[in-house]
Chains A and B, each alone.
Chain A
Amino acid sequence: AQRVTQPEKLLSVFKGAPVELKCNYSYSGSPELFWYVQYSRQRLQLLLRHISRESIKGFTADLNKGETSFHLKKPFAQEEDSAMYYCALKTSYDKVIFGPGTSLSVIP
């Protein structure tokens, strides 16, 4: 079955602390994974994708096929990082399966 799990519904960290948002997936094919972010009162937007192997706003994510994980990391959290984060798995033709989301709160 195709599935994306994000074990933490809510994650609170202090400003300047490292942050890791967990994502695990279940998919028999070759996965294409994304992280989307939704800031307060803004539309859902792409943060990064595993195929690009880039760092956006200080965030990075590495695909670990052995552990079927795609955790999102940032070494030093900022207040503006507070948002809802969704891990997503694309299977075919824009059929994207989203995880339940993790609400990140960065405490000043």
Chain B
Amino acid sequence: KAGVTQTPRYLIKTRGQQVTLSCSPISGHRSVSWYQQTPGQGLQFLFEYFSETQRNKGNFPGRFSGRQFSNSRSEMNVSTLELGDSALYLCASSLTGDVEPQHFGDGTRLSIL
């Protein structure tokens, strides 16, 4: 089985721009979660999607949004980028988001200039 795939692997943007990150979960997995990883804050939960619905959300501003498509692929969007948004963004998938553990992708490293 192919693992969780995130694209692109690296992105460089400037302040004020917006960005869209993509995540393809493991085949059959319907739950997709997003995390932000920074040296200062560690791994922080952004949101979780299941069957195209956001079920859970972390404490991030509204500039961070996401969506999930009918094939379970998910995208995350960050608008009006700030320097502090520089981070590794990780996507994780699981079958239902209930009792199974999550499987993580390699992440997208976003750098804001």
Contacts and interface: CB of A to CB of B under 8 A. Distances in A.
B45 interface: yes
Contacts of B33: 94-96
Interface residues of A, number: 19
Interface string A68-90: 00000000000000000010000
B88 to A, nearest CB: 10
B55 A93 contact: yes
B31 A94 contact: yes
What size tier do the contact residues of chain B reach? Answer: 20 to 34
Contacts, number: 53
Contacts of B98: 93
Contact of A46 (B31, B102, B105): B102
Given A49-B101, A93-B55, 14 more contacts: A43-B3, A43-B105, A93-B97, A94-B33, A94-B48, A94-B50, A94-B56, A95-B33, A95-B45, A95-B56, A96-B33, A96-B45, A98-B45, A101-B42
A80 to B, nearest CB: 20
B23 to A, nearest CB: 13
Interface of B: 3, 31, 33, 35, 42-45, 48, 50, 55-56, 58, 90, 92, 94, 97-99, 101-107
Given A43-B104, A43-B106, A94 B42 contact: no
A86 B107 CA distance: 17
A100 interface: yes
Contact of B48 (A51, A95, A97, A101): A95
A25 interface: no
A64 interface: no
Contacts of B102: 46, 94, 96
Nearest to B3: A43
B91 to A, nearest CB: 10
A49 B99 CA distance: 10
Nearest to B44: A98
B102 to A, nearest CB: 6
17 contacts: A32-B99, A43-B104, A43-B107, A46-B101, A46-B102, A86-B43, A92-B56, A93-B48, A94-B102, A95-B48, A96-B45, A96-B102, A98-B42, A98-B44, A100-B42, A101-B42, A101-B43
